């Protein structure tokens, strides 16, 4: 799932060494900002013209733009804001939250995930567990010695306004329904559900009608986004193949768990046709998002890492060619999302966190 607590948990579980930050040359005017003992832009990060840090504590991720690029919704578990688990917050894009708290626009009950603006810029969709339990659900960390994600069967998808009032419930099937994003055409939502007995992708209209299953191969399909013209979907998936791997996947799923450490990217048409595997890199390849051109995808991966970290951002063409590293951090960069006008990139990173496990939001001015 595109859930936030993975950021800190991955660091706890898979990082076994103290990372050394690269030496930064004297920054050029308007291209690099310094903060504390760390840099916000590494010398090799040629696509970042400038960068702003938005949050300064806790785990913050999945910041998604309004259709007019004036606001963003993101999720945070920042204890300084009184959070026990992820809730949704609203920001204007010129803001940062070093000395203030953004308005919370979810209910404050249960755990929430994956908020995405609807075309009217006045409502958004998101997943929440609050109907089953108003408390934060338990977070299992490991199963049989391996790192796991919980797939809460209490997640359903809701529509709310920007004051936090729920105006509609889009899913009510038993089991997990979450990870909803909206087509740039403004007509469809894609989401992940286990209503078939496996974690598959589905689409539906903005009012929850006309639900169609998009994928049907065994494995965890999730984190899907539409291409800029709405014609394609990019997502990450696990694909257990051996009898042992299949049994392990099914046994874990029956317990509401998945292992997210072996995932590749897949691409298909918006109706599920012409499905193909895009990456063959190994390790965890996830949080993909289309470049504004629609011709390539930006994603996070640790395929070059020896012990699970670092995660960096990479480009790949939609035909699987021209893999290129985009960020050059020593810890964690993920959840990249381009603004609708293509001028900015929001992403989450461990950079400039003072040696803590905090994951913060950044907005980079994009240049090519």
**27-31, 62-66, 143-147, 354-358 — which is least confidently predicted?**
27-31
Q: Above 90 in pLDDT, residue 359?
A: yes
Going by the DSSP 8-state scheme, the letter that residue 162 receives in this structure is T
Gap between the Cα atoms of 95 and 81, Å rounded? 16
Q: What radius of gyration do the chain's Cα atoms show?
A: 19
Please tell me the predicted confidence (pLDDT) of residue 1. Answer: 53
CA distances from 365 to 29, 44, 56, 63 (A): 14, 15, 19, 15
> Please, which pLDDT band fits residue 81 given cuts at 50, 70 and 90?
very high
Q: Residues 10-16: what's their mean pLDDT? A: 33
Mean pLDDT of 337-350: 97
State the pLDDT at residue 130.
97
**Looking at the predicted structure, is the pLDDT value of residue 335 above 50?**
yes
Tell me what pLDDT residue 306 has. 82
Lowest mean pLDDT among 35-44, 118-127, 270-279: 35-44
Tens of pLDDT, residue by residue over 17-71, are 222 222 223 333 333 333 334 578 999 999 999 999 999 999 999 999 999 999 9
Token pair, residue 32, equals 């690099």
Strand, helix or coil for residue 38: strand
First to last CA, the chain: 31
20 vs 268 pLDDT, higher one: 268
Mean per-residue pLDDT for 250-279? 96
Per-residue pLDDT reduced to its tens digit, 100-109: 999 999 999 9
Q: Does the structure show a pLDDT above 80 at 133?
A: yes
| Number of other residues whose CB lies within 10 A of the CB of residue 37 | 9
Alpha-carbon gap, residue 228 to 242, rounded angstroms: 36
Give the whole-number percent of the chain exceeding pLDDT 70: 89
Higher pLDDT, residue 13 or 40: 40
Tokens of 130: 């609050």
- The CATH number of 6-366 is 2.120.10.30
| Mean pLDDT, rounded, of the chain | 90
Mean pLDDT of 174-191: 97
The mean pLDDT value for 184-191 works out to 98
Percent of the chain with pLDDT over 90: 84
33 and 50 Cβ atoms separated by less than 8 Å? yes
What is the DSSP track for 316-357?
EETTS---EE----SSBEEEEEE-TTSSEEEEEE-TTSTTSS
At residue 38, the pLDDT reads: 52
Residues 154-169: tens digit of each pLDDT: 999 999 999 999 999 9
Taking residues 305-330, report their average pLDDT.
94
Task: Say how far apart CA 69 and CA 293 lie, in whole Å.
Answer: 17
């Amino acid at each position: 799932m595109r859930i936030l607590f993975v950021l800190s948990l991955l660091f706890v579980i898979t990082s076994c060494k103290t990372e050394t930050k690269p030496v930064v040359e004297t920054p050029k005017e308007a291209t690099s900002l310094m903060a504390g003992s760390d840099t916000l832009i590494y010398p090799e990060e040629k696509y970042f013209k400038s960068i702003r840090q938005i949050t300064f504590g806790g785990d913050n991720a999945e910041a998604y733009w309004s259709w007019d690029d004036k606001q963003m919704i993101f999720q945070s578990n920042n204890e300084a804001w009184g959070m026990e688990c992820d809730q949704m917050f609203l920001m204007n894009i010129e803001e940062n939250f070093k000395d203030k708290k953004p308005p919370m626009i979810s209910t404050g009950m249960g755990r929430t995930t994956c908020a995405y603006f609807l075309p009217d810029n006045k409502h958004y969709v998101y997943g929440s567990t609050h109907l089953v339990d108003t408390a934060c659900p338990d977070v299992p960390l490991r199963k049989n010695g391996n790192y796991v994600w919980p797939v809460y069967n209490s997640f359903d998808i809701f529509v709310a306004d920007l004051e936090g009032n729920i105006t509609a419930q889009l899913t009510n099937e038993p089991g997990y329904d979450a990870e909803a994003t909206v087509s740039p055409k403004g007509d469809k939502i894609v989401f992940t559900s286990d209503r078939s007995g496996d974690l598959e992708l589905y689409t539906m209209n903005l009012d929850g009608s006309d639900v169609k299953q998009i994928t049907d191969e065994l494995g965890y399909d999730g984190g899907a986004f539409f291409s800029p013209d709405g014609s394609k979907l990019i997502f990450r998936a696990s694909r257990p193949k051996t009898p042992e791997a299949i049994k392990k996947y099914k046994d874990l799923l029956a317990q509401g768990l998945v292992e997210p450490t072996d995932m590749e990217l897949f691409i298909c048409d918006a109706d599920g046709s012409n499905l193909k595997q895009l990456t063959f890199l190994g390790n965890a390849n996830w949080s993909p998002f289309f470049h504004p051109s629609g011709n390539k995808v930006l994603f996070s991966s640790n395929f070059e890492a020896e012990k699970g970290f670092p995660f960096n951002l990479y480009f790949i063409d939609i035909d699987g060619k021209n893999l290129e590293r985009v960020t050059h951090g020593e810890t964690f960069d993920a959840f990249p999302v381009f603004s609708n006008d293509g001028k900015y990139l929001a992403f989450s990173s461990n950079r400039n966190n003072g040696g803590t496990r905090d994951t913060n939001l950044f907005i980079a001015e994009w240049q090519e």
